[in-house]
Amino acid sequence: MAADVTMRVWRGDADGGEFRDYQAAAEEGEVVLDVLHRVQATQAGDLALRWNCKAGRCGSCSAEINGHPRLMCMTRMNQLPPGQPVVVAPLGGFPTIRDLVTDVSFNYEKAMQVPSYAPRPKEPDGTYRMQQADIDRVQEFHRCIECFLCQNVCHVIRDHEENKRVFAGPRMFIRYAELEMHPLDTNDRRELLQSRMGLGMCNITKCCSEVCPEHIRITDNAIIPLKERVVDDRYDPLVWLGRKIRRRKRADRG
Amino acid sequence: MADQESHSFDVVVVGAGGAGLRAAIEASIQGARTAIVCKSLLGKAHTVMAEGGIAAALGNVYPEDNWQVHFRDTMRGGKLLCNWRMAQIHAQEAPERVLELEEWGALFDRTPDGRILQRDFGGHRFARLAHVGDRTGLEMIRMLQHRATQAEIAVFMECTITRLLTDDDNRIAGAFGYWRESGRFVTFEAPAVVLATGGIGKAYKITSNSWEYTGDGHALALWAGADLIDMEFVQFHPTGMVWPPSVRGILVTEGVRGDGGVLKNSLDQRFMFDYIPEMFRAETAETEEEADRWYTDKSVRRTPDLLPRDEVARAINTEIKEGRGTPHGGVYLDIASRRDTEYITRRLPGMYHQFRELADVDITKEPMEVGPTCHYMMGGVRVDAETQGSTVPGLFAAGEVAGGMHGANRLGGNSLSDLLVFGRRAGRYAAEYAAGLTARPTADTSQLGELARHALRPFDGAGTENPYTIQQDLQDCMQALVGIIRIEDELTKALEELAVLRERATRVRVEGHRQYNPGWHLALDLDPLLAVSECITRAAFERTESRGAHTREDYPDTDPELGKVNVVVGQRAGQLSLTREPRPAIPDDLAALLKEG
């Protein structure tokens, strides 16, 4: 059942590179990662790529396959056009380190800026009570495997490196949403989201939702509800007045 | 080596799975300057693959559950070879650790009255596993990751430790390794090191484990002079995927059976009723009717589909060997005919997705094909039950890399709880040890040059061997000769082949340069892989009986005398030494819990 395919793989580093062709056999049922592993083992031992679980659960093997951001372990060879080279490139939204490995430290830096989870006190019997129906939507966000494909395609940062300073990106908006909608959480991150995490810069083109391998409805279920919450907070007249007064007091003290 | 990058900490944790993260969080809470060093990006460790749940006697679904029953189930599942004190601590502390994870933001599936829901699993008398669908490990690692991030613990990602450093008194003084991204060497100066490196699955061809599982911690401990125990016990999970070939070995959660799925052979027989061992006869259902009732009525006996993993893996192996397997060499795992679609997709969304995407199988409509896959290492660093300290001062181990807790066979769900319970203890006692020292041990730095030279040898151009080929040959050898069923002739042959592979590994050659070079990384991973493979084979040779995950065709019975000892592997003057050492005696009150009933 083995078929010969051409794997057209980007090879290079931060200083530049080029696509190189490798002829390899593809066995029945194989995914792109399988074939690249065969290329590694037999033709290019130093081909740099990331992978771990090989079952779509860890989010390590993100790449751009025939131009589409995908997980290499979940992209079946038989889903790609037969007879044509399979083009595999590193994620374009992050700086290249080597071959298919990119520098994703941006995501970890943004994660460090998320104010922590702060639960309310337990019930008198020492437990937390939550109904399944109340946590279903937050569990959807917890499915995120941190493949960073959403961060990679988000046009706010993909083509605008300067925005990375002031924009957390879809992955982090899910993280904020899961905290804001957690039935037990007491922290309020709305002001931070709007003023420093760039929530307002998202103009809901839904590119992130389209590429999510976990099919998390990032835009509809996380970003838009967050935007609504921020609006409620900012334009609620009482909250607005309260904030003005607090600011004035702080200014007076300063 | 004066220009080499160097860092100083109180506690260095090697590995960032559940045990490593929990250890680092605890060490940090204790005030220790703490670092995590891990081979992959943060959040990608093997814990993320854990599916079914965390075993803890919360008693939310069955109030009659308690730590004594959990302790009993664990000991019996481990064929009484578990370190009793570890099994006791584990059963007692697991509920606190699960509740703590909830306090840190974890959202477990709920009971109708809003508490943490628990599911059935193999070898557990009651529904005991706190879970989130079939992605419990992801939930756990993410919550720990957030916690560690907020504690501002230093994390060295994509950094591999290749050797522990010791002082003249053989106390831990630090660790040596390399950055995978740049290939540059790095030294950590630290009086306490916690190993949390996971297992050894990449020594086998068919495995659920990722590339990282090359036995690093086992080998680091061995080379530093620590003892390993129970190395003959390698768990083959009964249900890995078998088709198509590219997914062979990928895990299918025991939760499928916990939620009502059954095993069948090609004759449509529920064959597990034919494999009920004497030890579990009194507590296992004998008819399909009784087995099916058990899911909702715990007054009857448990289905044999949920016998401990060693029993189920052996049964599947026999069915396939005797010609009752599926066309692709597995057996059927059927939940489609037993539960409705809504139930299956809600309880097992990951399995549904995995089979649909990778195997074109709709598990709500047709049975899965499954077979045994190398999954977990029971054996590991010999540690003190209370502190997780090894026999080398300053060296601690927690999680899969530590030995003793699970004896001859681990029950499903007991790993995630093990990571939390003993990760926390290792972190705490490592921090205490470091704080209690009057002077920090200093490493003999003259060894660093030699370590660097050894690591760079694959580039020097003299070799001819491809590291990928050596790893594949090693996997073929271990799979064929030191697998589920063992026999003396084959173990002897394996030792001969391992000697050849070790020699070939000295002639390994890699192409390219030091920047993010997976061929070079693999070449360096061959050292620990070969070391643990030899430990496993030698220990399997030494245990002349069948017990738990270790089955000897030439010694098919359990030997009560060997049930009183652990096989201990150490390295003295470059040579492996094996001894049989008596297990700690179990107190009478705990022994009484193990009786049938």
**What confidence score (pLDDT) does residue B447 get?**
87
Tell me the longest C-alpha to C-alpha distance in chain B. Answer: 72
Do B264 and B366 lie in a common domain? yes
Does residue B306 fall inside a structural domain?
A: yes
Token pair in block for residue B238: 């009964």
pLDDT band at A1 (very low <50, low <70, confident <90, very high): low
Q: Which residue of B has its CA nearest to A109?
A: B149
pLDDT band at A243 (very low <50, low <70, confident <90, very high): low
Size of chain A, expressed as the number of residues it contains: 254
A3 shares contact with chain B (CB less than 8 Å): no
Cross-chain residue pair B211–A74, CB shorter than 8 Å: no
Identify whether the C-beta of residue A155 lies closer than 8 Å to the C-beta of residue A207. Answer: yes
- CATH number of residue B303's parent domain: 3.90.700.10
Q: Which residue of A has its CA nearest to B99?
A: A127
Range of the domain at B494: 448-559
CA distance to partner chain A, nearest, from residue B150 (Å): 7
> Average of pLDDT values for A75-91?
96
> Average of pLDDT values for A118-132?
94
Distant-in-sequence, close-in-space partners of A233: CB < 8 Å, separation ≥ 6: A188, A190, A191, A239
Residue B120 — φ and ψ, nearest 5°?
-75, 150
Do B364 and B466 lie in a common domain? no
Does residue B590 fall inside a structural domain?
A: no
Identify whether the C-beta of residue B246 lies closer than 8 Å to the C-beta of residue B594. Answer: no
CA distance to partner chain A, nearest, from residue B512 (Å): 6
B44 SS3 class: coil
Does residue B113 fall inside a structural domain?
A: no
Cross-chain residue pair A143–B251, CB shorter than 8 Å: no
A117 shares contact with chain B (CB less than 8 Å): yes
Interatomic CA distance for residues B243 and B263, integer angstroms: 17
CB nearest to A40's CB, from B138, B243, B468:
B468
State which of B320, B348, B371 marks the end of a domain. B371
> What single string gives the DSSP state of each residue in B466-496?
-HHHHHHHHHHHHHHHSSSEE-HHHHHHHHH
Interatomic CA distance for residues B299 and B315, integer angstroms: 26
Annotated catalytic sites of B, by residue? 237, 257
Token pair in block for residue B359: 């195997």
Does residue B580 fall inside a structural domain?
A: no
Does residue B576 fall inside a structural domain?
A: no
State which of B346, B371, B396 marks the end of a domain. B371
CB atoms near residue A201 (< 10 Å): 15
Do B352 and B261 lie in a common domain? yes
Residue numbers in A near B357 (CB within 8 A): 56, 74, 76
Cross-chain residue pair B210–A46, CB shorter than 8 Å: no
Cross-chain residue pair A142–B519, CB shorter than 8 Å: no
Residue numbers in A near B350 (CB within 8 A): 57
CA distance to partner chain A, nearest, from residue B333 (Å): 19
Does residue B230 fall inside a structural domain?
A: no
CB atoms near residue B182 (< 10 Å): 16
pLDDT tens digits along A196-234: 999 999 999 999 999 999 999 999 999 999 999 998 877
Q: Return left, alpha or beta for B347; rule: phi > 0 is left, psi -120 to 50 is alpha, else beta.
A: alpha
Across the beta sheet with B395-397, what order do the strands follow? Answer: B154-156, B34-37, B11-14, B192-195, B395-397
Do B248 and B337 lie in a common domain? yes
Task: Give the dihedral sign, CA A182/B101/B221/B217.
Answer: negative
Cross-chain residue pair A128–B139, CB shorter than 8 Å: no
Q: Which residue of A has its CA nearest to B208?
A: A53
CA distance to partner chain B, nearest, from residue A240 (Å): 30
CA distance to partner chain A, nearest, from residue B346 (Å): 11
> Average of pLDDT values for A183-200?
95
A125 shares contact with chain B (CB less than 8 Å): no
Query: How do beta strands B159-166 and B172-179 pair?
Result: antiparallel
**What confidence score (pLDDT) does residue A159 get?**
85
Interatomic CA distance for residues B394 and B169, integer angstroms: 11
Cross-chain residue pair A52–B210, CB shorter than 8 Å: yes
Cross-chain residue pair B358–A98, CB shorter than 8 Å: no
Interatomic CA distance for residues B3 and B184, integer angstroms: 11
Q: Which residue of B has its CA nearest to A100?
A: B516
Token pair in block for residue B390: 């090894």
Q: Which residue ranges form the domains of chain A, and what is each CATH number?
A: 3-102 (3.10.20.30), 105-253 (1.10.1060.10)
B432 shares contact with chain A (CB less than 8 Å): no
A232 SS3 class: helix
Number of cross-chain residue pairs from A and B with Cβ atoms under 8 Å apart? 158
pLDDT tens digits along A29-74: 999 999 999 999 999 999 999 999 999 999 999 999 999 999 999 9
B591 shares contact with chain A (CB less than 8 Å): no
Interatomic CA distance for residues B231 and B223, integer angstroms: 15
A60 shares contact with chain B (CB less than 8 Å): yes
The answer on pLDDT for A249 being more than 70 is no
- CATH number of residue B488's parent domain: 1.20.58.100
Residue numbers in A near B61 (CB within 8 A): none
> Average of pLDDT values for B197-215?
97
A49 shares contact with chain B (CB less than 8 Å): yes
Average predicted confidence (pLDDT) for chain B: 96
Interatomic CA distance for residues B95 and A127, integer angstroms: 12
State which of B371, B404, B438 marks the end of a domain. B371
> Average of pLDDT values for A150-164?
94
Interatomic CA distance for residues B278 and B281, integer angstroms: 5
Cross-chain residue pair B48–A58, CB shorter than 8 Å: yes
Do B269 and B361 lie in a common domain? yes
Interatomic CA distance for residues A208 and A90, integer angstroms: 17
Cross-chain residue pair A42–B468, CB shorter than 8 Å: yes
Token pair in block for residue B345: 């997709």
A112 shares contact with chain B (CB less than 8 Å): yes
Tell me the longest C-alpha to C-alpha distance in chain A. Answer: 78
CB atoms near residue B268 (< 10 Å): 10
Distant-in-sequence, close-in-space partners of B450: CB < 8 Å, separation ≥ 6: none
Do B248 and B364 lie in a common domain? yes
pLDDT band at A239 (very low <50, low <70, confident <90, very high): low
Cross-chain residue pair B110–A48, CB shorter than 8 Å: no
Count the domains in chain B. Answer: 2
**What confidence score (pLDDT) does residue A253 get?**
47
Distances (CA, A) of A95 to A12, A90, A164, B5, B170: 12, 9, 12, 24, 43
pLDDT tens digits along B123-171: 999 999 999 999 999 999 999 999 999 998 999 999 999 999 999 999 9
| β partners of residue B8 | B189
Does residue B390 fall inside a structural domain?
A: no
CB nearest to B515's CB, from A13, A57, A58:
A13
Does residue B366 fall inside a structural domain?
A: yes
Distant-in-sequence, close-in-space partners of B466: CB < 8 Å, separation ≥ 6: A41, A45, B508, B509
Identify whether the C-beta of residue B200 lies closer than 8 Å to the C-beta of residue B234. Answer: yes
> Average of pLDDT values for B403-420?
98
> Average of pLDDT values for B194-215?
97
Helices and strands, number each (H, E), in chain B: 17, 22
CB atoms near residue B155 (< 10 Å): 21
Shortest CA distance to B355 belongs to which of B235, B269, B261, B266? B261
What residue type is assigned to position B523 of the chain?
A
CB nearest to B519's CB, from A46, A119, A129:
A46
The answer on pLDDT for B550 being more than 80 is yes
A154 shares contact with chain B (CB less than 8 Å): no
Distance of CA B193 to the CA centre of its chain: 19
Q: What is the pTM of this model?
A: 0.96
